[in-house]
Amino acid sequence: MGPADGDDGFVAYFQPRTAGLLRFAYLLTGDAGEAEDLTQTTLTHVYVVWRRVSGHARPDAYARRVMVNANVSQFRRRRVHHVLVERPPETAQASAQLAAVEDRAELAKALAALPPRQRAVVILRYCEDMPEDEVAALLRCSTGTVKSQASKGLAKLRADPAVAALGPPTLATTPPGRVTLSSAARGKETP
């Protein structure tokens, strides 16, 4: 059963974090509709056990673990295969903004091709910028497993022709010392 008397801080805690969870879900699924469903499923599950979870130091880490597990379970049950065409029927004029969107779309397709656990590790490490030990704790595996899954995932991303075609990351939008997913896919760290 869920909380009996109100939400006991559930809404106050997760309202500012929902956008981040939705972004994380999108990176896991590669589809906006599936991301919304996965976020809803995750928040529903966390709400049901909120009294127990609210005592933890980081309930959002618990929510991410629920999201990864729900996505893996959903992936095993059924996976709708989208037919992707090389070029969309309508084409637009080439522009810097359009190129950035196309780069993201290509990267999202490459991420979607990774197995669910590898995708989760790559996203947590390089999109969410989490240290290896936190990723290991979140996914309930060893740090070595995180390292090997990240290595294998990055190798698959590097081998993907769409990712290899992406240009170098722009330094103006990347904070110093931060690894971006596109630079990580090529095995580089930004200065």
Three-state helix/strand/coil letters over the chain: CCCCCCCCCHHHHHHHHHHHHHHHHHHHHCCHHHHHHHHHHHHHHHHHCHHHHCCCCCHHHHHHHHHHHHHHHHHHHCCCCCCCCCCCCCCCCCCHHHHHHHHHHHHHHHHHCCCHHHHHHHHHHHHCCCCHHHHHHHHCCCHHHHHHHHHHHHHHHHHCHHHHCCCCCCHHHCCCCCCCHHHHHCCCCCC
pLDDT at 75 over 70: no
| Domain assignment present for 135 | yes
- Res 57: pLDDT: 85
Both 72 and 102 in one domain: the answer is no
pTM: 0.51
Both 69 and 127 in one domain: the answer is no
Both 124 and 161 in one domain: the answer is yes
| Residues 29-41: b if buried by 16+ CB within 10 A, e if exposed | bbbeebbeebbeb
Highest mean pLDDT among 46-60, 74-88, 162-176 belongs to 46-60
Both 114 and 174 in one domain: the answer is yes
Both 110 and 41 in one domain: the answer is no
Q: Half-sphere exposure (CA, 13 Å, Cβ side) for 59?
A: 23
Both 53 and 105 in one domain: the answer is no
Residues 6 or more apart whose CB falls under 8 angstroms from that of 185 comprise: 107, 110, 154, 157, 158, 160, 163, 166
Both 102 and 161 in one domain: the answer is yes
Q: Where does the pLDDT of residue 56 fall: very low under 50, low under 70, confident under 90, or very high at 90 and above?
A: confident
Measured N-to-C along each axis, helices 143-159 and 132-139 cross at an angle, to the nearest 10 degrees, of 100
- Res 167: pLDDT: 56
**Dihedral sign, Cα of residue 19, residue 20, residue 22, residue 27:** positive
Q: Where does the pLDDT of residue 112 fall: very low under 50, low under 70, confident under 90, or very high at 90 and above?
A: confident
Both 15 and 70 in one domain: the answer is yes
| Domain assignment present for 65 | yes
User: Containing domain of residue 175, as a range?
Assistant: 95-186
| Domain assignment present for 3 | no
Residue type, 35: A
Question: Mean per-residue pLDDT for 160-167?
Answer: 72
CATH number for the domain including 18? 1.10.1740
CATH number for the domain including 161? 1.10.10.10
- Res 103: pLDDT: 64
Both 102 and 73 in one domain: the answer is no
- Res 127: pLDDT: 82
Both 163 and 108 in one domain: the answer is yes
| Average pLDDT taken over every residue of the chain | 77
Total structural domains within the chain: 2
Both 50 and 108 in one domain: the answer is no
Looking at 19, 48, 77, the residue that finishes a domain is: 77
